Amino acid sequence: MLISPSSLLLFVSGAAILLIIPGPAVLYIVSRSVAHGRPAGLVSAMGVATGTLFHIAAATLGLSALLASSALAFQFVKYLGAGYLVYLGVRTLRSGDVNLLDAVNGGKNLRRIFGQGVLVNLLNPKTALFFLAFLPQFVEPTRGHATVQIFELGVLFALMGWFSDSGWALLAGTIASRLRGSVRLRSAQRNISGGVLIAMGLISALAGAKSK
């Protein structure tokens, strides 16, 4: 790596602190794990990590700067992402208990869940702006190309995020698996998962509106 050991240690420490605090991606992964089991949660975490890689590529190529400079583009992507979260929440609430049982027993489409995880992260412009603002803080121009250093730091952050998110998925899936014997609790799981997704979408949209 082109990054010095001291800068790498600072970056890992800062990234770890940021990852400890659950954000929208963690809430999404937990909701998938609760509703569909540990495999769905782990696949969602992988999808979120893949979306992170797209953001890293955009930051490396400078596309994030273009997004940051265009208020219209930012608003469009932000509301598109918020709407997608609300859509997923409504779909979860409307899914019957039979669909939930099919998902738990392996009837779920993991590729679809993976794609949803990618989109949830990809349609969050704040993630793109975060990488644009955070990664360059640890770049040392004297050690080589800045773009290569940004890419290396971004990939490391994505790996750390994937590991952390997978832990949340396993924890949520383990707790949920012990509650699925009750029809009432299965219904509560579905309602909580759907409600969390809808709340995430609405909070994302309203928070963005207040900040403008």
Q: Is the dihedral of CA 9, 14, 16, 17 positive or negative?
A: positive
**Confidence at 108, pLDDT banded by 50, 70, 90:** low
Residue 83 has pLDDT above 50, yes or no: yes
Show me where the domains of the chain are located: 22-211
Average pLDDT over residues 20-27: 78
Instruction: Assign residue 35 a region (left: φ > 0; alpha: ψ between -120 and 50; beta: otherwise).
Output: alpha
How do residues 154-194 score in pLDDT, each as one tens digit? 999 999 999 999 999 999 888 876 665 555 666 666 777 77
Which pLDDT score, from 0 to 100, does residue 2 have? 67
Say how far apart CA 55 and CA 121 lie, in whole Å: 9
Instruction: Name the token pair of 212.
Output: 């403008």
Q: Tell me how far apart the alpha carbons of residues 45 and 168 are, in angstroms, rounded to a whole number.
A: 9
When pLDDT is cut at 50, 70 and 90, the band that residue 211 belongs to is: very low
Mean pLDDT across the chain: 78
Using an 8 Å Cβ cutoff, are 123 and 48 in contact? no
